Structure 1
Amino acid sequence: MQENKALKTFISYSHLDECHVNTFRTHISPLKNNGLVEDWYDRKILPGSKFNAQIDNNLEDADVICLFVSANFLASKACQNEKENALELVDKKGISVVPIIVSDCGWLDDPDLKELLALPTDGKAVTRFTDINSGWKDVYDGLKNTLEQIHRHRNISLTSEFASFLQDTELLAKAHSNKQHVTLDDIYVCPNLVAYDDLKDCETIQSPQMIVDNFHEHLRLCMSGASQSGKTSLCKYLFKSLRDRGLVPVYIRDRHGQYKGKIQNKITEALKKQYNCDVKDIDTEKLIPILDDFHFAKDKEKHINDLAQYKNCIVTVDDICNLNFADESLLQAFSLFNIKEFNASQRDTLIKKWMYLSEAPQKDNDIYQDLDHKTELVNTTLGKAIGRGIMPAYPFFILSIINTYETFARPLNQEITSQGYCYQALIYMYLRKEGVRNDDIDTYMNFLTEFAFYKFSQNKEEISRDEFEVFMDRYLEKYNLPVDQDIVIAKLRSTRILELCDLNNYSFCYKYLYYFFVAKYLADHASDCAKTIETIINNLHKDEYAYIAIFLSHHSRDGNILEEIVLNACCLFDKYAPTTLSKKELHFFDKQAQTIVQAVLPKTVATPEGERKRRLKAQDKIEEGCKDTEEESTQEEHDELFKELRRSIKTVEVMGLIIKNRAGSLEKARLQEFFEEAMKIHLRILNSFFELIRNEEGQLQIIEYISTRVDKAAEQKAQKRRRLGQKEKIYSKEDIDKLARSIFWNTNFMIVYNYISKIVHSLGSNKLIDVVEKVCDSGNTPASFLVKHGILMWYKKNLQVDNIAKGMSGEDFSDTAKKVMRFLVVNHCLMHSVGFKEQQRIEKNLHIPSQQVLALKAKRSKN
């Protein structure tokens, strides 16, 4: 991994000793001529350069730092600062710091210097040698040994077999359609790590790069993560990063052998397989054992004690609690980290890396269309679309989802849709990886289906061992089990489909597995489970039921189930007609048009990449602070309006996912019916909202409340400024009332805009454009017009300027609907590449001002 290049030597000295530096540089000429070293000192700084920055940069980049120690050096503040910085780099980067005693001085009283092995031999000053050249020859020999040792370590090469292992992506290696072999470097994205304190409470979030950069702070690391969380890939990343710093990591994984035997023997054996060198030549000070899947070790405490001879070590486990030591001080010596699931930004980076493996040139908006499609695909399959998720957002799952959709144009089992196949493909992959034969897979699938429904019928998160035995007795009475029972259970636990926790309870490892098999049972027994299915469909506000309903649509072709969902949708907010967003309906809203902020086209310097990055960061914060859905469900039971609203929103999301997944297998008439009824739910909710804010007396009450709050906040700010002796700004009652009114109406407008956006993203798909156009054109209302063009913009990247301008000019198009349309267009421009010519056309035809125009107007008004 390391290039065979000259080592950088930084010379720290007092200018009063410059003659010694020149003599030293002359003596080491053979080392420079042989390419072993290149030296740097401050006389190489060119006139006009930033002096301190040059010194700091070269000090940071040095491989060896030579301190020319003398009384002058010890008395120099600048030299002392360089010494302190050098010693920090010893811990941070593992560089070598060599004191060279040029003249007699009190260096042994310096607590830092006396700990370092100095040159010449035994710390004898160069100037004390009878022949001063002998002194410099002693320095030369000692420095040469140090440089050669560093070179040996840096140039130790890895065996080709282990180098291939470090790049191996296992099941994903042959998964990309446009790249013959996918390596880890091609796709690796660092996860975030949660650091824990001694009590194992969450502390801070760090990246692996931060840990490598500050490795001296974490001499012993323990990283925990669930199955498929990327522990092994993280070990490979750390191995390569530490190797790049001249250290000698050694990777050990003994899952099946349970780490039996002496750990030292395993380290020696691994070094022989991983490095092309004599093990005896390796400096143990630089050796870092990396023990992967250490939770499988039988005698963990003994191994950890044996590792005490090494300054550093890294272990990975599935759970920190698995490091159960009698000597608690052993665990306290470790820095504890847990691998987090990928947030929105990391998912985006990973998807882009996968996409960019294709060498085919694409326009920006074509790339965005592919990216947005894959992102929605991933988020939907992970379960992020309607809740916190049913599958962990780990790289393996994310890329498996994309690969499954890219690889299989149609499912093997025609009774399920493409998304359903993605889940089934993962399950098959687990089983086959564990050695389950193809002719036995049906047995395992049936077993899991029956167990999932048994668990569902018991209404329990997990099943005790005794209850599991009851289930097994019933199962064996009903079904033949051609595979030994213990083997079935062992393989399901080994594949992480089922787990037996430390409390002796059985459950599914991931929620998607549970929902998948419950839905499969219900689909297979639809007539017997009609009442249960009806309960599920009538309570889609519960995440569990929503997910099961989606899986039901995968497994079943029963038209009655879909009909039940449509009938349920028709009953939601049925006291209100769907809003049309027409002038007549929104006359009261349009009167406030001047109060509502206008949409503005972005500056040309505002890039889609920058905007997308900002939105991803906002999504990261939302996901990080997302409350547990169970808490939300408990809260909503006490609020009927909230419950009905959540139920309606969830129903739309479920219906949207069904038509997206069944876009090619449901009849057009049914797709249109589903789309239309789902859209009407949101439009009915909007109409109920308009009824709420239409009353002028109610408006005044809310505005007065906002005004009171604003006045209080303004007074608090004024008091603070008075305390600080700052000039305070006086707000009149009229100013505060005006601001309150603006807040009220702009909040209302954003609710309208967000509901239209919700329809677009809940129901839109590039596979449903014909359906969307048919339903929306048939509706022929401003509301349906907004939905149609919102979907065209996001899912087809198609902004039809002329058609939008023509539609907005219609007599029935309310000013509020026009504003929503303009905001949808601006949102499109923010997220996609739109050239200057196209921006001018949008500005002119849709009457959307640009920020440049507004800035120019403001400048003129000042003049």
Structure 2
Amino acid sequence: MEQNKKLKLFISYSHHDEKSYIDQFKKHIHTLKDNGLIEDWYDREILAGEDFQNKINNNLEDADIICLFISKEFLSSPSCKKEKEKALELRKKKGISVIPIILSSCEWLDEEDISKLLALPADGKPISKFEDPDEAWLGVYEGLKKIIEKEIKFKNLKITEEFESFLQDTEMLTNAHSEKERVLLDDIFMPPDLDKFNDLGEHEEISSEELFKKLLDYPRIVIAGENQSGKTSLCKVMFKELRKRNFVPVYISDEKDQFRGRIENKILESFHKQYDDDGFDINEIDKERIIPIIDDFHFAKNKEKHVKDLSVYPRCILIVDDIFSLNIEDEKLLASFTRFKISEFKPTLRNELIKKWRRLTDKEIRDIDYRDIDRTTELIDSTLGETIGKKIMPAYPFFILSAIVTYETLAIPLNQEITSQGYCYEAFIYFYLRKQGVRNDEIDTYMNFLTELAFYFYKEKKYELFPDDFTSFMKLYLEKYNLPIDQKILLKNLSLIVSTDSFNNYSFRYPYLYYFFVAKYLADHLENEGIKEEIEKIMNNLHVNENAYIAVFMSHHSKNIGILCTVERNVRGLFDKYEPATLIKDEVKFFDEQVDKIIEPSLPSVDTTPETERKKRLRTQDKLELSQNAEEQENSDKEDSLGRDLRRAIKTVEVMGTIIKNRAGSLEKTKLEEIFLDGMNLHLRILSSFFDLIKDKEGQEAIIDFISVRLKKIIKESDEKKKELNREDLKKMARMIFWNLNFFIVYGFINKIVHSLGSDKLIKVEEEVCDEVGTPVSFLVKHGILMWYNKNLQVNELAVRIKEKDFSKLAERVSKLMVVDYCSLHPIDYKDRQRIENKLRISTKKLLTRGYKGS
């Protein structure tokens, strides 16, 4: 047998037994060694000067078989106890064979952890009790030989080529990358976060990487996930992980037949398909080592019977669509399962997935291209709905990667009128329909049905339809349209788009599907007077999330300029009593007088990398996104007039920005310039209103006094022993906080303009508008867009403009922070850093601006 087929046998013993027993054992196993079946190791192999304990631990970890030589000396030895515990841990973690070899009479049967193991010689009779010791050792030899032969066959059990291909299959993404011939699951898999539930339904977040490490700590597992959440990919990765640890995972999926028949037969059938088992009987494998992984178990007709039948396997993994869908009567059996649910990808994971995809290549590995990463991130955030409000599409890898692929491979859209982002949504809908077997010549019928259904939801102001409501809709639909498809078949084929809950109520599975079809209905009926009024109402109330999303989706479906004109009229009427802010010296003189209180921006230290800074900010975004998952306040009656107008203004500009980004190549240039200017001016009018609020001296002092009182209380609560600051020191601190807070609000408004309206497809248009306006603030907006979307920092231009007479100290400070922000997130070489320091007078020291989000 080849050298690499040898099994490693670890001998754990008490030194007291070495001469009496271990030497004899080594003599009796020489045939196994000579035949190349094993290589043995024990602590006498350690050479002088080597790390004793480390060597033992490493060889224990590498072992295939561990023999515990049991005697009273072994059981009483602290070091032997540690080796025994480690051996049993490895048996649990890796499935390593642990064999107790009973040397002499002792209380080993009272040792619960080893008494349940198969001991040698037969029946655990101590070697010392045999009249002929050679007979005892022959029994050990034969027993060990059987185990070794079985282990070798087991270790050499290979996965079939066909199943190996399935384990790496990425379905529609397999041939979707422009620089990689075949995309494998190993290329793109990102471990998702999971919610781990307890018996009370409470949950805590863990990463699936942590689950992989501790997989064997959870003998029976249920993992739930929505459609396309990555359940099957997780199954594949767990399968490979378990096989690496010398277990025999068996993957079973049977959606079509709903797991009819005995689950044991399905395991056996799957085993034969997944392993090259020539000469190997599954019955030879201990049940402890076989781990069934049952995918789509929610389709099973007789769940309780299957779960009971699976109880013969100490370990199993069930995959379902809902965490509470394992509805069985046996409470004890149910309680034996640990439940997990797949979470959507947070910004950090989305970023890692995008980077993974972007760096895929069959050639040499490429460096990170931040322009490409940032452009793709913005595209995905927009597609998920993040830029407007709450997500409208789940942030699972399928949706993220499919969206990237759809944009990249966009050739001739299915609908010539639709935008590229609209085509992305449409592509998902076509995917759902085709996955259910809908023929091309039937798609128009399905699209029409969905459009009418969505508008019925909208008109009735409902997010779900009760069965009677749905019956009413069907009656109206059949009066209006011919339906050449049986209603039951139609609803079955729409199950990935329109779902029914456990109360038999109907709803669109994801919000983006609802908005897509409502907008399609409106866009298809623009000539109808009632629809025109509805659209006017939507455009007048873009602060409501539903209206904002419908408006954006309408821009995907229709190039009708009237929709944009309505939005523009609304924009011009908001905060119209204020002139747009300019940040010229005369306008912000009151702010310039306080600029010495604002923290001076500093370039990041040389040991701070863009990657570490980006990760910090992404972690902050994770927390922000988590906090925003709660339902947004939609009831405008609970907001004061200013709050409502502010929300409406910000949302309206977001909608305008999304529209011009989507229509960057199909709207006339003059219209793009007009919309960009209107959006920028609205934000600058809000900024003017903010200046009006803070420049009043009495108002300033009142706020500063309030901050002083709060500071005093915070300091006292945080450290009772700390000496109290006097009133003057408190006021000084409060004044610093007040003006720094105001500064970051100004900076935030400019950043909001850059990211709401900026685009790499509109840079020339936006440059021309900003240059024509010619104010310090328009100059900052222009360079913010150039920095973020073009990755172009124009140091000389900034240095020259800062020195001009109208350029305020506030504008200068904002420009410096923009530069620092850019340098924190992008690699800057030494020469360029020196130029920034010299030209813009920005020093390099410890970064003080980590607390804000630069986007």
TM-score normalised according to structure 2 size: 0.94
In structure 2, what residue type is equivalent to 1:149?
K
Quote how far apart the aligned CAs of 1:667 are: 0.6
Task: Give CA-to-partner distance per residue, 1:168-220, whole Å, 9 cap, x none.
Answer: 11122222222222221111111111111123x13222233333332333211
> Could you tell me which residue of structure 2 aligns to residue 808 of structure 1?
802
Quote how far apart the aligned CAs of 1:479 are: 2.0
> Could you tell me which residue of structure 2 aligns to residue 761 of structure 1?
755
Q: Which moved more, 1:7-16 or 1:82-91?
A: 7-16
> Could you tell me which residue of structure 2 aligns to residue 426 of structure 1?
428
> Could you tell me which residue of structure 1 aligns to residue 567 of structure 2?
565
> Could you tell me which residue of structure 2 aligns to residue 671 of structure 1?
672
Q: How much is the aligned-residue C-alpha RMSD, in angstroms?
A: 2.3
Task: Give CA-to-partner distance per residue, 1:744-770, whole Å, 9 cap, x none.
Answer: 111111111122111111111110011
Secondary structure at the aligned position of 1:629 is classed as coil
Distance 2:686 2:43 in 1: 72
> Could you tell me which residue of structure 1 aligns to residue 738 of structure 2?
744
Cα distance change on mapping 1:183 and 1:521 into 2, 3 Å: same
Secondary structure at the aligned position of 1:380 is classed as helix
Instruction: Answer yes or no: is the 8 Å Cα contact 1:9–1:40 preserved in 2.
Output: yes
> Could you tell me which residue of structure 2 aligns to residue 489 of structure 1?
491
Cα distance change on mapping 1:62 and 1:614 into 2, 3 Å: farther
Cα distance change on mapping 1:798 and 1:410 into 2, 3 Å: farther
Distance 1:314 1:343 in 2: 25
Distance 2:150 2:564 in 1: 73
Task: Give CA-to-partner distance per residue, 1:315-358, whole Å, 9 cap, x none.
Answer: 11112333222333332221111111111111112112211223
Instruction: Answer yes or no: is the 8 Å Cα contact 1:194–1:202 preserved in 2.
Output: no
In structure 2, what residue type is equivalent to 1:707?
S
Distance 2:602 2:48 in 1: 49
> Could you tell me which residue of structure 1 aligns to residue 95 of structure 2?
94
Cα distance change on mapping 1:485 and 1:72 into 2, 3 Å: closer
Secondary structure at the aligned position of 1:100 is classed as strand
Instruction: Answer yes or no: is the 8 Å Cα contact 2:99–2:117 preserved in 1.
Output: yes
> Could you tell me which residue of structure 2 aligns to residue 835 of structure 1?
829
> Could you tell me which residue of structure 1 aligns to residue 853 of structure 2?
none
**Residue pairs, 1:161-560, within 5 angstroms:** 161-199=162-200, 201-277=201-277, 278=280, 279-359=282-362, 364=367, 367-409=369-411, 411-493=413-495, 496-528=496-528, 529-560=531-562
> Could you tell me which residue of structure 1 aligns to residue 73 of structure 2?
72
Cα distance change on mapping 1:402 and 1:91 into 2, 3 Å: same
In structure 2, what residue type is equivalent to 1:547?
Y
Instruction: Answer yes or no: is the 8 Å Cα contact 2:548–2:651 preserved in 1.
Output: yes
Q: Which moved more, 1:596-605 or 1:479-488?
A: 479-488
Task: Give CA-to-partner distance per residue, 1:723-753, whole Å, 9 cap, x none.
Answer: xxxxx45534333222211111111111111
Instruction: Answer yes or no: is the 8 Å Cα contact 2:229–2:397 preserved in 1.
Output: yes
Instruction: Answer yes or no: is the 8 Å Cα contact 2:359–2:366 preserved in 1.
Output: no
Cα distance change on mapping 1:473 and 1:140 into 2, 3 Å: same
TM-score normalised according to structure 1 size: 0.93
Distance 1:568 1:531 in 2: 15
Quote how far apart the aligned CAs of 1:75 are: 2.2
Quote how far apart the aligned CAs of 1:777 are: 0.7
Cα distance change on mapping 1:158 and 1:718 into 2, 3 Å: closer
Secondary structure at the aligned position of 2:223 is classed as strand
> Could you tell me which residue of structure 1 aligns to residue 691 of structure 2?
690
Quote how far apart the aligned CAs of 1:676 are: 1.0
Cα distance change on mapping 1:667 and 1:36 into 2, 3 Å: farther
Secondary structure at the aligned position of 2:311 is classed as helix
Distance 2:655 2:606 in 1: 39
Quote how far apart the aligned CAs of 1:47 are: 5.4
Instruction: Answer yes or no: is the 8 Å Cα contact 1:28–1:140 preserved in 2.
Output: yes
Cα distance change on mapping 1:14 and 1:362 into 2, 3 Å: closer
Distance 1:143 1:773 in 2: 80
Match of 1:771 among 748, 765, 769: 765
Distance 2:565 2:331 in 1: 61
Quote how far apart the aligned CAs of 1:228 are: 0.8
Distance 1:683 1:409 in 2: 39
> Could you tell me which residue of structure 2 aligns to residue 725 of structure 1?
none
Cα distance change on mapping 1:360 and 1:757 into 2, 3 Å: farther
Distance 1:39 1:793 in 2: 64
Task: Give CA-to-partner distance per residue, 1:86-142, whole Å, 9 cap, x none.
Answer: 323332332222223334433333333322222333334445555655544443433
**Residue pairs, 1:775-814, within 5 angstroms:** 775-814=769-808
Quote how far apart the aligned CAs of 1:519 are: 0.5
Secondary structure at the aligned position of 1:594 is classed as helix
Instruction: Answer yes or no: is the 8 Å Cα contact 2:181–2:362 preserved in 1.
Output: no
**Residue pairs, 1:522-671, within 5 angstroms:** 522-528=522-528, 529-630=531-632, 632-634=633-635, 637-671=638-672
Distance 1:362 1:569 in 2: 47
Secondary structure at the aligned position of 1:319 is classed as coil
Quote how far apart the aligned CAs of 1:546 are: 0.5
Cα distance change on mapping 1:369 and 1:156 into 2, 3 Å: same
Q: Which moved more, 1:299-308 or 1:79-88?
A: 79-88
Task: Give CA-to-partner distance per residue, 1:675-714, whole Å, 9 cap, x none.
Answer: 1111112111111111111111111111111111111222
Q: Which moved more, 1:213-222 or 1:842-851?
A: 213-222
Task: Give CA-to-partner distance per residue, 1:232-279, whole Å, 9 cap, x none.
Answer: 111111111111111111111111111111111111111111111133
Secondary structure at the aligned position of 1:222 is classed as strand
**Residue pairs, 1:120-199, within 5 angstroms:** 120-129=121-130, 132=133, 135-199=136-200
Distance 2:592 2:128 in 1: 92
Fraction of identical pairs, as percent: 55
Secondary structure at the aligned position of 1:66 is classed as strand
Quote how far apart the aligned CAs of 1:468 are: 1.6
In structure 1, what residue type is equivalent to 2:818?
L
Instruction: Answer yes or no: is the 8 Å Cα contact 1:463–1:505 preserved in 2.
Output: yes
Quote how far apart the aligned CAs of 1:400 are: 0.9
Instruction: Answer yes or no: is the 8 Å Cα contact 1:153–1:247 preserved in 2.
Output: no
Distance 2:553 2:220 in 1: 45
Quote how far apart the aligned CAs of 1:484 are: 3.2
Task: Give CA-to-partner distance per residue, 1:524-567, whole Å, 9 cap, x none.
Answer: 11232111111111111111111000011111121111001111
Distance 2:251 2:564 in 1: 53
In structure 1, what residue type is equivalent to 2:239?
F
Instruction: Answer yes or no: is the 8 Å Cα contact 1:174–1:180 preserved in 2.
Output: yes
Quote how far apart the aligned CAs of 1:787 are: 1.0
> Could you tell me which residue of structure 2 aligns to residue 107 of structure 1?
108
Q: Which moved more, 1:478-487 or 1:799-808?
A: 478-487
Secondary structure at the aligned position of 2:422 is classed as helix
In structure 2, what residue type is equivalent to 1:92?
K
Secondary structure at the aligned position of 1:226 is classed as coil
Cα distance change on mapping 1:685 and 1:265 into 2, 3 Å: same
Secondary structure at the aligned position of 2:90 is classed as helix
Distance 1:786 1:5 in 2: 68
Instruction: Answer yes or no: is the 8 Å Cα contact 2:93–2:245 preserved in 1.
Output: no
In structure 1, what residue type is equivalent to 2:506?
Y
Instruction: Answer yes or no: is the 8 Å Cα contact 2:292–2:317 preserved in 1.
Output: yes
Cα distance change on mapping 1:326 and 1:739 into 2, 3 Å: same
In structure 2, what residue type is equivalent to 1:328?
E
Quote how far apart the aligned CAs of 1:156 are: 0.8
Distance 2:131 2:155 in 1: 37
Instruction: Answer yes or no: is the 8 Å Cα contact 1:92–1:213 preserved in 2.
Output: no
Instruction: Answer yes or no: is the 8 Å Cα contact 2:716–2:724 preserved in 1.
Output: no
Cα distance change on mapping 1:27 and 1:552 into 2, 3 Å: same
Distance 1:227 1:438 in 2: 23
> Could you tell me which residue of structure 1 aligns to residue 725 of structure 2?
731
**Residue pairs, 1:33-72, within 5 angstroms:** 34-45=35-46, 50-72=51-73
Runs of at least 5 residues in structure 2 that lack an aligned partner in the other structure: 849-855
Distance 1:819 1:359 in 2: 46
Instruction: Answer yes or no: is the 8 Å Cα contact 1:93–1:213 preserved in 2.
Output: no
Instruction: Answer yes or no: is the 8 Å Cα contact 1:448–1:517 preserved in 2.
Output: yes
Distance 2:815 2:365 in 1: 29
